[in-house]
Amino acid sequence: MTAVAPPYDGLLLGAHLATLDDARPGGHVVEDGALAWKDGRLSYVGPRADLPGAPDTLAREVITTRGWVTPGLIDCHTHLVFAGNRAHEFDMRLNGASYEDIARAGGGIRASVAAVRHVDEDTLLQQSLPRARALLQDGVTTLEIKSGYGLDFANERKLLRVARQIGAQLGITVRTTYLAAHALPPEFRGNADGYIDAVIDWLPRLHAEGLVDAVDAFCERIAFSPAQTRRVFDAARALGVPVKLHADQLSDLGGAALVAEYDGLSADHVEYTGEAGVRAMAAHGTVAVLLPGAFHVLRETKLPPIALLREHGVPMAVATDCNPGTSPLLSLRQAMQLACTHFRLTPYEALVGATRHAAQALGLHDRGMLREGLRADLVVWDIDHPAELCYWMGGTFVRRLWIAGRPVPLTQESAACV
């Protein structure tokens, strides 16, 4: 007689489930829950008592644990691939230097551009991998990585290629974002429109290599104008590539409304976004990505319009903005904690912001919740209540981790931001 294969590849028992699925009858929490998966997708999410049979007959592997299970965290805004660091700028700021002072001294984005242009692809990968590992160890199973520290074709390509290699080496989903419109490189000084011409010329070539999942720009007085940003977005639209925007971080240039007009995935930072921008985001389904790490490091005082975002039903994601200058942050949990502390998000809003809403900010509809049919990206946390994920500052709480139903080994390797 031929043995009948069990219906599930894996079955997880003994923990409580924070499904983050508000459409779930009875609420998003399942106490004494069970999770099963098959071919990398969730097949059962519910009470252990309602399983359709004895556990040992249902799955090839049955895992008993405790604590809480959430979807894998999603870091939807990072500049994680860079060379060197800018710790000396942190010191300069604390000794009274302004952003402009640092820039005049050769610092800021230009310093990271020079460092990236100085190293080869393998060196860049080896310097960046520890940062990605740190996020993985902290429960991140999907990661966005932007370019923007190359500012010429070869080096923007190098950044995007390294981002793809990080995903392949760690088995983590990496979404790549083309951010050549990040700053004006020295060779285009005084010729911003000419540089935008180059950014637009490089885009289809990089997209043809499979290196571009989305297009971003920095729309600010110190970067690129709304008109220049529109040109970049028009080029992305012609290729069918979604857009997002560094919007309204330092002033309200209408960036949030601009990216919403293009049905953009997200408007990021949004500290200065006014009600018109919020209404536009709500009308077009554009996510507000909150970046409390940069707010914290720069000691900003202008808060994002949280009340307006809630009032108009704009989804709020939370991300690390991991970068060498303004947010050297290697923990999405810490970003959640900062979002609660500085922006007054509730722990539930912060957790949804680092899962379900972060998935939406990346245009991903197959993850971010524990729901049958979605990817089996799972974290088992050694906690007594989900609010602890935003309560503790630091610490290691990940007990087990799966990406698409595949267990991920957890190590305590150093992940210094070097």
**pLDDT per residue over 218-270, tens digit each?**
999 999 999 999 999 999 999 999 999 999 999 999 999 999 999 999 999 99
Order of strands, sheet of 140-146, starting from the edge strand that comes earlier in the sequence: 73-75, 140-146, 173-181, 214-219, 244-247, 266-269, 287-290, 316-318
Cite the annotated binding site for Zn(2+) by residue number. 77, 79, 246, 321
Instruction: Give the per-residue pLDDT at 3.
Output: 56
Share of the chain above pLDDT 70, in %: 97
Instruction: Give the per-residue pLDDT at 307.
Output: 98
Identify any residues that bridge with 36 across adjacent strands, giving them in sequence order.
Answer: 11, 44
Tokens of 82: 């860079």
Query: Is the pLDDT higher at 101 or at 418?
Result: 101
Instruction: Give the per-residue pLDDT at 6.
Output: 86
Model confidence band, residue 366 (pLDDT cutoffs 50, 70, 90): very high
**pLDDT per residue over 181-222, tens digit each?**
999 999 999 999 999 999 999 999 999 999 999 999 999 999
Q: Which residue has the tokens 């002072």?
A: 101
Share of the chain above pLDDT 90, in %: 89
Cite the annotated binding site by residue number. 77, 79, 86, 149, 182, 246, 249, 321, 323, 325-326
Instruction: Give the per-residue pLDDT at 208.
Output: 98
Element (H, E) at 410: none
Q: Where are the domains of the chain?
A: 8-71+368-408, 73-361
**pLDDT per residue over 158-170, tens digit each?**
999 999 999 999 9
Pick the CATH number of 73-361 from 1.10.238.10, 2.40.160.40, 3.20.20.140, 1.25.40.10: 3.20.20.140
What is the average per-residue pLDDT within 42-65? 95
Instruction: Give the per-residue pLDDT at 93.
Output: 86
Instruction: Give the per-residue pLDDT at 25.
Output: 86
**pLDDT per residue over 124-176, tens digit each?**
999 999 999 999 999 999 999 999 999 999 999 999 999 999 999 999 999 99
Rounded Cα–Cα distance for residues 151 and 162 (Å): 15
Cite the annotated binding site for 4-imidazolone-5-propanoate by residue number. 86, 149, 182, 249, 326
73-361 and 8-71+368-408 share a CATH fold: no
Question: Within a 10 A sphere around the Cβ of 408, how many other Cβ atoms?
Answer: 20
What is the average per-residue pLDDT within 25-31? 91
**pLDDT per residue over 367-384, tens digit each?**
999 999 999 999 999 999
Instruction: Give the per-residue pLDDT at 104.
Output: 72
Cite the annotated binding site for Fe(3+) by residue number. 77, 79, 246, 321
Burial bucket for residue 226 (CB in 10 Å: 0-12, 13-18, 19+): middle
Instruction: Give the per-residue pLDDT at 97.
Output: 86
Rounded Cα–Cα distance for residues 72 and 217 (Å): 27
CB 247 within 8 A of CB 218: no
**pLDDT per residue over 305-323, tens digit each?**
999 999 999 999 999 999 9
Cite the annotated binding site for N-formimidoyl-L-glutamate by residue number. 149, 323, 325
What are the backbone dihedrals phi and psi of residue 181, each rounded to the nearest 5 degrees, phi first?
A: -85, 60
What is the average per-residue pLDDT within 111-118? 95
pLDDT at 4 over 70: no
Instruction: Give the per-residue pLDDT at 5.
Output: 76
Query: Is the pLDDT higher at 3 or at 30?
Result: 30
What is the average per-residue pLDDT within 50-60? 93
Instruction: Give the per-residue pLDDT at 107.
Output: 83
pLDDT at 51 over 80: yes
Angle at Cα 383 formed by Cα 378 and Cα 388, nearest 5°? 100
Was domain 8-71+368-408 assigned CATH 2.30.40.10? yes
pLDDT at 346 over 80: yes
Interhelix angle 226-239/192-208, rounded to 10 degrees, is 20
